[in-house]
């Protein structure tokens, strides 16, 4: 059974693609097999919808929308989804969050990273635990990380460190192994892959696609990720969005999907 992945939005437009396609910082992918169509992330606004129309992609048959996490460039397009859409995500998707400098007793907020979204219009399925979306698709739920990295602050009664605990991945159980779809990789590529292997009960990785958050990673971190991926030996490694040119330079046999592309996995 083939899995078709359409890149509805990514930071760059694919060479030779329709010049009317909008490329923005963000990610939105449509994954479709013979039974299901899953929208993974929505980018920052309605650009994914604009691009889908230009690509001749019908979004009316979407089985579910999966939101990887609550940063605006991944969930900002939710207001453009039809009312009563089925959305699967972590219960902390709507946390208000900012990038920030933090010092003892002092926090300086820099940029708002979340967006106010009316999730009440939709059929929300919040879960910290894995959710079987269909026979082959799985939402990973929350990914445990021994020593998570901080990515700004979450506002509330007292500002708290944002470890992006709401980030999850989409898993597809293909006949050739797992296809793991990552939004931004805040929880770490190695942690994400191991978590997905554990909950799916499959170790073989057919494809790994998405944002790996490696654009400013240290050489030591990139070396560890490179060694891990060489051991896993996925058939396809596709780093886009926040993977960055620096990150892709370190990764073995990586490609860079862009807005307007269609990828077919056997």
Domains present along the chain, CATH in parentheses: 3-265 (3.60.15.10)
Choose among 4, 18, 5: nearest CA to 55.
18
**Does residue 253 have a pLDDT over 80?**
yes
pLDDT tens profile 195-214: 999 999 999 999 999 999 99
Q: How far apart are CA 184 and CA 192, in angstroms?
A: 11
| φ, ψ (nearest 5 deg) of residue 189 | -60, -45
pLDDT tens profile 66-91: 999 999 999 999 999 999 999 999 99
Give the per-residue pLDDT at 157: 63
**Does residue 247 have a pLDDT over 70?**
yes
Q: Would the pTM count as exceeding 0.85?
A: yes
Q: Note whether 60 and 160 are within 8 A (CB).
A: no
């Amino acid at each position: 059974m083939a899995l078709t992945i359409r890149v509805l939005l990514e930071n760059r437009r694919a060479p030779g693609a329709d010049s009317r396609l909008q490329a923005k910082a963000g990610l939105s992918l449509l994954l479709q097999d013979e039974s299901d169509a899953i929208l993974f992330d929505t980018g920052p606004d309605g650009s994914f919808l604009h691009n889908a129309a230009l690509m001749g992609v019908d979004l009316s048959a979407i089985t579910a929308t999966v939101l990887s996490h609550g940063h605006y460039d991944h969930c900002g397009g939710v207001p453009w989804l039809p009312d009563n859409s089925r959305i699967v995500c972590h219960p902390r998707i709507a946390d208000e969050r900012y990038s920030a400098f933090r010092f003892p007793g002092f926090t300086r907020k820099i940029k708002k990273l979340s967006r106010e979204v009316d999730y009440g219009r939709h059929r929300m399925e919040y879960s910290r635990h894995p959710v079987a979306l269909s026979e082959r698709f799985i939402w990973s739920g929350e990914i445990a990380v021994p020593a998570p990295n901080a990515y700004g602050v979450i506002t509330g009664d007292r500002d708290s460190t944002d470890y992006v605990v709401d980030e999850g991945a989409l898993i597809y159980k293909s006949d050739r192994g797992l296809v793991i779809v990552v939004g931004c990789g805040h929880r770490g590529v190695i942690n994400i892959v191991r978590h997905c292997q554990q909950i799916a009960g499959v170790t073989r990785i057919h494809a790994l696609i998405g944002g790996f958050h490696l654009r400013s990673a240290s050489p030591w971190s990139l070396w560890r990720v490179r060694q891990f991926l060489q051991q896993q030996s996925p058939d396809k490694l596709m780093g886009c969005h926040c993977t960055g040119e620096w990150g892709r330079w370190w990764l073995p046999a990586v490609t860079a999907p862009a807005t307007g592309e269609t990828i077919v996995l056997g």
